[in-house]
Amino acid sequence: MATASASSPLSKLQAQKQSVWIDFMSRAFVRQGELARLIEEDGLQGATSNPTIFEKAIGHSADYDDDTRRLVSEGADVDTIYQDLVVADIQGALDLFRPVYDRTDGLDGYVSLEVSPLLAHEREKTTEEAGHYWQRLDRPNAMIKIPGTPECVPAVEDSLAAGLNINVTLLFSVEAYEAVAQAYVRALKRRVDAGQPVDHIASVASFFVSRIDTEVDKRLDALIAKESDEGRKAQLESLKGKAAIANAKNAFAVYERIFSGPEWDALAARGARVQRLLWASVGTKNPSYPDTLYIDELIGPDTVSTMPPETYNAFRDHGRVVEQPTLTAAMADAQGIVAQLAEAGIGLNDVTDFLLKDGVEKFAQSFDDLYAAVRAKREQFAR
């Protein structure tokens, strides 16, 4: 397999043991050769999807019309049409990534499909739907996405214990990440206690990055606007664009603690792999920040960066990869930034609680919009 040249930012990133996945999915992307080209030429190692991505793919193109028309003629309802369309896309991508999965012995080559965000607060239904999609995809390199809400963390554990590969999404706070990582360890222990293997279980924890800065910067701007002391204004201004990276580094510190020591070593001796942190939402929202900021500053071993196409292309063109991992640099400063924000009146837990609620609502809205688009096409073709 050809890969990007050794001098390219993508190859340098992979040389530091950070995997490169793309946060995108569509029928044309899979079937018209673009995904295969990225795997062949860039060494792309995986892909993620979410309801917003599928809403844009299915709701705003004619690529799915032929299959939709066929399914309508067979009497399929809206839910059946949706599932058939997305499962076919994910299976096609999984097959393209299967050589990556085999070559890396199951480290990479995964594609994620998300359970309905409408179930984000329902453990049993989430567990049931995760199992349903796992059976339908029927590929060892599939990953089922489950939101990391407090109600669904048990669903994550149950699904992993049942042998599914799980991508835990919508993680914003360090505390939420720690709960998910501990659930992963518990799930592996359950399998060991039941005499089941753990060497084929894979999981990533999708920790969202840029949205943290978007919300914190907005709150800092509100404080700056009300502040009359110039020195204080400058101090608040200096904190902008710092929270997201600090939050991610604090999560990585938890990762290092959980996946080390005698308890983890006993599982690793049985072939268990760590649950890697996956940096999600790495596209820069603020145009005054470098467009590869959240990739450049979070490069570290045993992690994944999943990039939307625009950010992927930008990083391939001019990403910055230095010799030493940036993720583990100045780790102590990260806690200091969180403390300074708290002193200013911005509690990071309040920010992350808001973002989790907002993220679930936005994905649910995209899911509703997607179903509405499928319903409209179903009615159109039924006529």
Taking CA atoms, 268 is separated from 105, 179, 304, in Å, by 15, 20, 20
Cβ atoms of 168 and 280 closer than 8 Å: no
Q: Is 326 within 8 Å of 299 (Cβ atoms)?
A: yes
Is 357 known to be catalytic?
A: no
Q: Exactly one of 12, 17, 56, 145 is catalytic; which is it?
A: 145
Burial of 109 (0-12, 13-18, 19+ CB in 10 A): buried
- Cα–Cα distance, 184 to 153 (Å, whole number): 9
* Residue partners of 274: CB distance under 8 A and separation at least 6: 255, 259, 264, 302
Q: Cα separation of 183 and 254, whole Å?
A: 14
| Contact predicate 247/174, CB 8 Å | yes
Count of other CB atoms within 10 angstroms of residue 285:
13
Other Cβ atoms closer than 10 A to 272 = 23
Q: What are the residues facing 20 on neighbouring strands?
A: 305
Q: Which residues are known to be catalytic?
A: 145
